[in-house]
Each structure stands twice: as structure tokens, then as C-alpha cells.
Amino acid sequence: MKRQLHRSPAISRLFVMFSTLRKRVLSLPRSSKRAILVGFDVIALAFVLWASFSLRYDRWELPSNLDEWLIVTSAPVIGIPIFVRMGLYRAVVRYLPERAIWTIVQAMALAAILWVLLAFLSEMTGRGIVPRSVPVIYWALGTLALTGSRLIAKWIFWPTSRSALLKLPAVVIYGAGEAGTQLATSLRKSHFIAGFLDDDATLHRREVVGIKVFAPSYLPSLVRDFGVKQVILSMPSLSATRRKEIVRDISQHGVKVQSLPGIADLVTGKYLVSQIHEIEVDELLGRSSVPPDANLIREMIVGRTIMVTGAGGSIGSELCRKIAQWRPQRLVLFESNEFALYKIEMELHTQKDVAVVPVLGSVTNAQRVISAIKENSVEVVFHAAAHKHVPLVEANAFEGIYNNVFGTKVIADAAFEFGVKNFVLISTDKAVRPTNVMGATKRWAELIVREKAAQALEQHTGQRFCAVRFGNVLGSNGSVVPLFKEQIARGGPVTLTDRAMTRYFMSIQEAAELIVQAGALSEGGDVFLLDMGEPILISDLAENMVRLAGLTVRSDDNPEGDIEIVAIGKRPGEKMFEELFYDSSSATPTRHPKILRGRGQLAQSVSIAPRLDELRNALSVGDEKAARAVLFSLIAERDSAHVDTTKLAQG
């Protein structure tokens, strides 16, 4: 017992000395650590070759002449350059993967073969015969010495206990630049960083802050060797197109992709772990961003009283957020859904210097609309209130017609009567050659707004009425994105109507920003068309969302995948593809590269008042068939008067 008590302080001192030595070694610069490793290998190879001869001759004596010393020192002379070439000194010993042992075996085998060649040449010059067993012993002992030394060093200098580190999530950082290195430093205590990926070929197989840099094609190996489940994009200045390509390639390997925010968002210049965010599907659109025209937004918003109908909806609420940032005199929120109105009002109240007026009511209630416009002296109206869900409106045609057509009529009339200077209708690509009630009602809304624009022009009121037409916005209420997210969260299947179906998509933030700027470009009677880019296959969107969740798509080629994608067939009124133009040749550019003007479609003034009466009569008697007939017949007449639809469809 006394001996144990006396030994305890000694053992403690040994542990302290070992810990101090370990810290000092770890604090050495990378070049010093590499020099120590090379020095050890020089001694180890010389010793191993001497031991190989000693085992063969069963005689353990130190070299006694120059020839014997030359033979012993020839081992490191040949071996070290080979080890350098094969990258044995590029790997960080603490993070050395077990599969690197195979590289050591290969390097040692090549060193042994070249040494045998040297020995053979030496025999030809009369310097003695080398027994055939010596190279085999040399290779075996050398492999054992090199792998053993590195594994022991890995165990000693492992940054924390092996079992604890293996429990840490393994991540790969895409981008070995300044942002990536700062991120790696922040993550090291909480994550095991398996490596960097970078497009720069000059960095490949090198090390940055002690972490190896690989080509992007090496990701499957890192996933296999380290169980990587997460890749973080750390290139804030990356273009949208390149980001889309990278995310598409990475997500195919069943890993979750996250990202640092764009460089414009990092005002502090510091990269923090808390700034990592999930890649959203709208980041995969590959759309080139165009900075907003501040003059257009200022002209439309600053110091004016703005009213947004449907202010609690997806488009309406985003419009309110954008408008509130540009110091309007007053922002009137017109919304029929009490909870939606409460949410957007509470959100906007957190912003300073924004006078918010919530108005609960329906756009079909003329008295409520007139009261809101008149009492607040509204100067600008963004009309976003509408029923937009195609299958629901198709199944509830009366309500869709009443809200979308007559609601637009009510608010357009009130805006005209009480001197609203700018009226902007939020329309949809489904209004082009509509095949469903929702699209047809939005086309009627465009015609109503055009008629008001013509009336303002005839009476020289100076009022400007226009419509802004665009496709789907990602994440809007009732869109496929929230539906797909919910289905993926439940484990699938993800359901879509047809694998060949395409749609135009843009982010909801971009749509709201462009709507405001389009309104400022209006000259009266315009239909503005937002540049939606190229249409996207719905099936591609679904697959991208599955991969962004870190899951794989189950298919015939991958029966073990996580989420199945199932086509259930088209719903009533759905198109296989959508269009933005009746006649693309009539669209002219504006001062904003993402906004086109389709004035040619609205050149002729066609009074729709008689047809509105017919539609109202059909609703009053509950004749849905007659209502549908009136709804689509006016559009057919209007379209045939201006374009050859068959020719355009074939074109």
C-alpha cells in the first residue's frame, strides 16, 4: 500500500510530462511535424534493413565497414522520395484514415522493389550477394514499422478520446478558401471534418489547416470511409448557376447539403457556425440575380399610402414585407382571413416607422373596400387577393368566379372612383389559354383591369392600371413545395401528376420585388411578364427535394432508396405545361432585364360589361354550366380576335 502511495505522485508527474509533451508536439508548425516524421522514417528504414540482414544471418552486429553502412543507408535514400511522392507526409497523423495503411503497404513495396534493383546492380559491380529472403523481410518489417508508428501516433495525438470522436458527426466542407478554413476552425470541436472539397485542381492532395483537400469526385470515398452525412458549402461568392450544379452533384450521394449565406449577408465579415443554413430548393433554380432598381421601388413606395389585398397570403405577405422596408406613409393590410391578418400585422409591427392599418374584409364586399380606400386615402393598390388552388377552384367554380372576377371588379371600380394612382393586379401564367376555372377567372381579371386602364386614358385621370403575370412561386400556400416537404417528412411516397409535367418557378422574394418594380413601369393597360427562366420538370423538383433532405430516391435502378416518387395522373383542368405569352413576339423589354411588357395583347378595347351581366345572372340562378360557358366563351372570342392559337400552339 505504501509503495502505491509513493508511486502515485510519480505516475502523476509522468502523466503531466506526457500531457505537456503532447501539447508541445501538437503546437509545432506543420513543417516541423513533417520533419520529425521524415527523420523517424529515415532511422526506421535503416534499422529495418539492418534487422533484415541480422535475421537472415542470425548475427546481430552493427555495420563494421563502409560497404555495410552504404547498404543500410541506401534504404532511406530510396524509400523517402517514394514516400514523399505517394503522399505519406501530406496526411495528418491524428486524422489518418485506416485505408491509408494500404498506401503505406504500396509505398513500402515499391521501395523494396527499387532497393532490390539497386542491390542487383551492386552485385554486378562485385559488392557481394544479397540473399533473396532479405527484401521480403525488409518489406514486411518496414510495413509493420511504418503502419505501427503512425497508428500509435494517431492513438497518442488523437484530439479527444477515440470513442468520443467517432460519435461526432462527420462533415465535408466544400470550399478550401478563407471562408472554409474559418468554418473548419469553428466546427472542429463539435464535428469530425473528413476533408475539404474544392474545384481548384492546384489544391488537390494538399492540406489546409491540417485538413486534406480533395477533388469533388472523391466525395463517395469520404462518405464510405467516414460515414459523412453532411456537406457544407463554404463559398459565399458562388454564382447561382454553379451552386445549382454543385448541389445537384452532391445530393446524389445521399448527404444533406447546407450552406453559408451569401457574401452580401455577412456584414460582420466573420463566418460563424450559427450562420450555416439548409439549402432551400429555390437555390437550385440557377436563376441569375439582378439587383432591384432602387429608383423604381422608391417611386412606387416611398411616402405613399399602399393597400395590399390578400395581405396575409403568401404573395401578399411578402409584398407587405418588401413595401415596409421602403418607408411608405401608411400600409393598409386588406385580408379576409382573421388569423392570417393577425400574423402579418404582428410581424410588421416589429419594424419601426411603418404605420400599419389592418382591415378585415372580403374584396367582394364593396362597402368594406370603398371604406378602406377612402378613409386611408390609398394611392397604390396591389391586388393579390384571389382563390388560386386549381383543383379547389375547379370543384368550387361559383366561389372562384365570385371572388376572382367580381372581387377584382369591385376593387378596380373603387380604385378608379376614389383616385388611386397605381393599381397592380397579380395575375398568373394560368391565365394564358386557360383550361381551368382558376386560369379563366384570372384572365377575366386581366380584362377588367385593362378596361379600367382604357377608361382612365379616355377621361385623362392619370391613373395607371396594369397586371403582372408570372408562374409558380416556391413555397406559396397550396403549392407543390410544402406538399412535397410534408410527404418526404412522412417517409413518402411523393405524389405528382405526371413525370413529363413542367412548370415555371421563381422564389417568392424575387416575385414580390419584381411586382413592385413592374408597377412603377406601368403606362396604363400593361400586362407585365416576369422572366421565369426555363420551365422545370415537376419530377426533377421532387427528386431535388428528396436529395436535399439527405435521402435517396427509390426507383428501379435503386430499389433500396428512401423515398418513392409516384405519378397519380392529371387532375381536372391541369395542363401539362404552362405559358407566359399569348404571343411572345409582342413582348417588349423594359428598363428592367427581368420584366417584359406585353402591351400588344391589350391593344384593342373590348367592353366586357354585358358578359359580366351574363356571368352574374348565371351565378344568381346557380347554373354552373352556363357560368362556365360564359367564362370560357369570352376568352375564346378575345383570343381569336388577336392571335391564331393553333399556330402558336404548334410553334
Domain ranges of the chain: 23-157, 164-279, 294-650
Three-state secondary-structure class, residue 591:
coil
Please check whether residue 471 is in contact with residue 285, taking contact to mean a CB–CB distance below 8 angstroms: no
526-530/595-597 β-pairing: antiparallel
Q: What is the pLDDT of residue 123?
A: 61
CA 555 to chain centre: 24
Residue 218 has pLDDT above 60, yes or no: yes
By three-state DSSP, how is residue 83 classified? Answer: helix
- The arrangement of secondary structure in 164-279, i.e. its CATH architecture, is 3-Layer(aba) Sandwich (3.40)
Q: What angle do CA 91, 97, 100 make, to 5 degrees?
A: 70
* 340 CB neighbour count, 10 Å cutoff: 19
Residue 161 has pLDDT above 50, yes or no: no
Distances (CA, A) of 229 to 219, 253, 555, 562, 634: 11, 9, 21, 15, 56
pLDDT by residue (tens digit) across 594-609?
Answer: 888 875 444 445 578 8
Query: Residue 412's pLDDT is what?
Result: 95
What band does 230 get if pLDDT is binned at 50, 70 and 90? confident
Among residues 365, 525, 366, the alpha carbon closest in space to that of 447 is found at: 525
Structure-block grid coordinates of residue 479: 403549392
Under the banding of pLDDT at 50, 70 and 90, the label for residue 343 is: very high
pLDDT at 579: 65
For the beta sheet containing 494-496, the strands, ordered from the edge strand earlier in sequence to the opposite edge, are: 494-496, 563-567, 553-554
Q: Which carries the bigger pLDDT value, residue 542 or residue 278?
A: 542
Topology of 294-650 in CATH?
Rossmann fold (3.40.50)
Quote the Cα angle for 527-530-535, to 5°: 125
Query: In the chain, what is the straight-line distance between the N-terminal and C-terminal CA atoms, in Å?
Result: 98
Across 281-290, 515-524, 576-585, least confident range: 281-290
Kindly report, residue by residue over 549-590, the tens digit of the pLDDT.
767 788 777 777 778 888 877 766 666 666 666 666 667 888
- CA–CA separation, 351 and 591 (whole Å): 31
Is the pLDDT assigned to residue 49 strictly greater than 90? no
Assess whether pLDDT exceeds 70 at residue 91. no
Domain 164-279 shares a fold with domain 294-650: yes
Q: Quick one: pLDDT at residue 8?
A: 55
Whether the CB-CB separation of 335 and 327 falls below 8 Å is answered with: no
Considering only 18-32, 358-372, 472-486, which range has the smallest mean pLDDT?
18-32
Per-residue model confidence (pLDDT) at position 281:
57
User: If we measure between CA atoms, which residue out of 143, 144, 255 comes closest to residue 197?
Assistant: 255
User: What does the block give as the cell for 321?
Assistant: 414585407
HEC letters along 364-418? CCHHHHHHHHHHCCCCEEEECCCCCCHHHHHHCHHHHHHHHHHHHHHHHHHHHHC
> What pLDDT is attached to residue 14?
63
Least confident of 230-234, 285-289, 328-332, 584-588: 285-289
The mean pLDDT of the chain is 78
Does residue 528 or residue 191 have the better pLDDT?
528
Q: What are 131-146's pLDDT values in tens digits?
A: 778 888 888 888 888 8
Spatial CA neighbour of 401 closest among 449, 448, 441, 442 = 441
Look up the pTM and report it: 0.62
